[in-house]
């Protein structure tokens, strides 16, 4: 089966309603171009509020059942027959998560993923807002293929990519919000960020789609210039298409049947030795403490 994927790269403003409307226009444009799976960036309906520790921002979280971004995108997925992974700030009773729901091409809800790895540093103070995800890494069976989807900081961890590949992911998707480092403006991590995910593709022989935001966002304590760099790689990690810092939509056509044959030929999963990997289950690399 052949599938056309898209990654949307855009800037967001202060008004949530306007941001959702803009995202709807971008998804519609991608659908008009023939895209069947369309990836938006992380937390696209609001500015990236994690620049600051401000409890007022917790009011941005809403339950899965009533979040306006989810309701709008579910409707559009059904109308345009596209698959949409949708990132949102989730409130679940007294818990808060950085979450994502996948809508299939008929608008059905394929399930929830909660971000597993939560960063904490200047400008990216996510531990103040989000509990660590409790869903485990998930793969979603959609009309257009089996999708592995994780969120931003998850993309730095090869373990997450491997688990999704082992679960049968045919494409890996990473919605993202990353840019400058407020405490170290001389650092530009974009190349590093890209190469890490290219490695996930190459190590698992699975294409990767990454969607980042762009624009300068000013907080109370710091500001971030999001560097874009969204891309789609092939299953060897080579970039098919990539963006700079402009608002844009990226596209790629993927042959899932040919990619599946390629994975079988290489034997990457046949030759794994999971009985030797126990140290990876520990924080310090020791299989046990003596």
* Closest C-alpha among 143, 158, 227 to residue 190: 227
Residue 43 and residue 96 in contact, taking contact as beta carbons nearer than 8 Å: no
3-state secondary structure of 268: coil
Is 42 noted as a catalytic residue in this protein?
Answer: yes
Structure tokens at 25: 């226009």
Which of 42, 126, 170, 217 is labelled catalytic? 42
Which of 22, 50, 51, 115 is labelled catalytic? 115
Angstrom distance (rounded) from CA 191 to CA 103: 31
Which of 50, 51, 126, 152 is labelled catalytic? 152
Extended strands (E) in 15-144: 37-39, 84-92, 95-103, 109-114, 120-121, 124-125, 139-142
Structure tokens at 235: 């299953």
Is 181 noted as a catalytic residue in this protein?
Answer: no
Is 152 noted as a catalytic residue in this protein?
Answer: yes
Residue 30 and residue 37 in contact, taking contact as beta carbons nearer than 8 Å: no
Q: Is the dihedral of CA 44, 47, 53, 57 positive or negative?
A: negative
Integer-rounded Cα radius of gyration of the chain: 18
What are the beta bridge partners of residue 10?
none
Angstrom distance (rounded) from CA 63 to CA 91: 5
* Closest C-alpha among 165, 177, 170 to residue 126: 177
Count CB neighbours of 46 within 10 A: 18
What residues are labeled active site?
42, 115, 152
């Amino acid at each position: 089966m052949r599938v056309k994927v898209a990654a949307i790269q855009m800037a967001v403003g202060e008004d949530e309603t306007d941001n959702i409307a803009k995202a709807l226009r971008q998804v519609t444009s991608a659908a008009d171009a023939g895209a069947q799976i369309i990836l938006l960036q992380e937390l696209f309906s609001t500015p990236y509020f994690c620049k600051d520790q401000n409890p007022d921002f917790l009011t941005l979280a809403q339950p899965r059942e009533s979040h306006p971004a989810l309701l709008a995108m579910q409707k559009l997925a059904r109308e345009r027959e596209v698959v949409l992974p949708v990132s949102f700030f989730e409130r679940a009773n007294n818990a808060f998560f950085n979450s994502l729901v996948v809508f299939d091409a008929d608008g059905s809800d394929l399930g929830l993923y909660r971000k597993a790895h939560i960063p904490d540093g200047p400008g990216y103070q996510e531990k103040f807002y989000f509990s660590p995800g409790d869903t485990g890494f998930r793969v979603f069976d959609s009309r257009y293929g089996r999708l592995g989807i994780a969120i931003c900081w998850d993309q730095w961890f090869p373990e997450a990519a491997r688990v999704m590949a082992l679960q049968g992911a045919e494409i890996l998707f990473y919605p993202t919000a990353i840019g400058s480092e407020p405490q170290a403006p001389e650092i530009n991590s974009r190349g590093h960020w890209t190469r890490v995910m290219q490695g996930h593709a190459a190590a698992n022989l699975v294409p990767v789609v990454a969607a980042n935001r762009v624009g300068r966002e000013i907080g109370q304590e710091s500001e971030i210039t999001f560097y874009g760099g969204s891309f789609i790689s092939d299953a060897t990690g080579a970039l098919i298409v990539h963006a700079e810092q402009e608002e844009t939509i990226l596209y790629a056509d993927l042959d899932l049947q040919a990619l599946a044959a390629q994975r079988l030929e290489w034997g990457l999963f046949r030759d794994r030795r999971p009985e030797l990997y126990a140290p990876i289950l520990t924080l310090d690399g020791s299989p046990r403490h003596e």
